[in-house]
Amino acid sequence: MALCVITHAVGVTIAARRLAVVQAGRFGQWIWLFIRLAWLIVFLHLIEITLWAFLYLWREAMPDLQSAVYFSAVTYTTTGYGDLVLPMEWRLLGAVEALTGILMCGWSAGFFFAVVSQIVHEHD
């Protein structure tokens, strides 16, 4: 969980610093900025999902990388298909991942909203 928070904090900080120098004036520039920001946010989440997957592999809670990444993505996003499950002794860890995913997605949504609000406020 701490690695996810660190990853997210670094990514959001880098984005905030780069956005501070961006002057989005025209509608097309705004759209391009939002697309880049969305890609960055998705990329951060994919890194975090992969970190959880490697933890599952390391602890032998999932049989292979493909299963670990799939399980992690479904858990992190709280989709929860249930077709793969952790061994009994690791199931609470899946719940912690889901809570972490909710928190990181909320952080991402808040950051995206803050960027959009700032741009709209500057161009009123």
Domain of 46, in residue numbers: 29-122
The pLDDT tens digits of the residues spanning 71-109 come to 999 999 999 999 999 999 999 999 999 999 999 999 999
The reply to whether 35 falls in a domain is yes
Classify residue 76: in a domain, yes or no: yes
Question: How far apart, in whole angstroms, are the C-alpha atoms of residue 63 and residue 102?
Answer: 25
pLDDT tens-digit readout, 2-49:
999 999 999 999 988 887 656 556 677 778 888 889 999 999 999 999
Q: Considering the domain boundaries, does residue 114 fall inside one?
A: yes
- Residue 6, in any domain of the structure: no
Q: How many CB atoms lie within 10 A of CB 76?
A: 26
Residue 19 is assigned to a structural domain of this protein = no
Cite the beta strand spans of 17-84 per DSSP E: none
Query: Domain tally for the chain?
Result: 1
Expressed in angstroms, the distance from the first to the final Cα of the chain is: 39
Q: The domain spanning residue 78 has which CATH number?
A: 1.10.287.70
21 inside domain: no
Please state, in angstroms and rounded to a whole number, the distance separating the CA atoms of residues 92 and 74.
15
pTM above 0.85, yes or no: yes
Instruction: Evaluate whether residue 61 is within a structural domain.
Output: yes
Domain-embedded: residue 23:
no
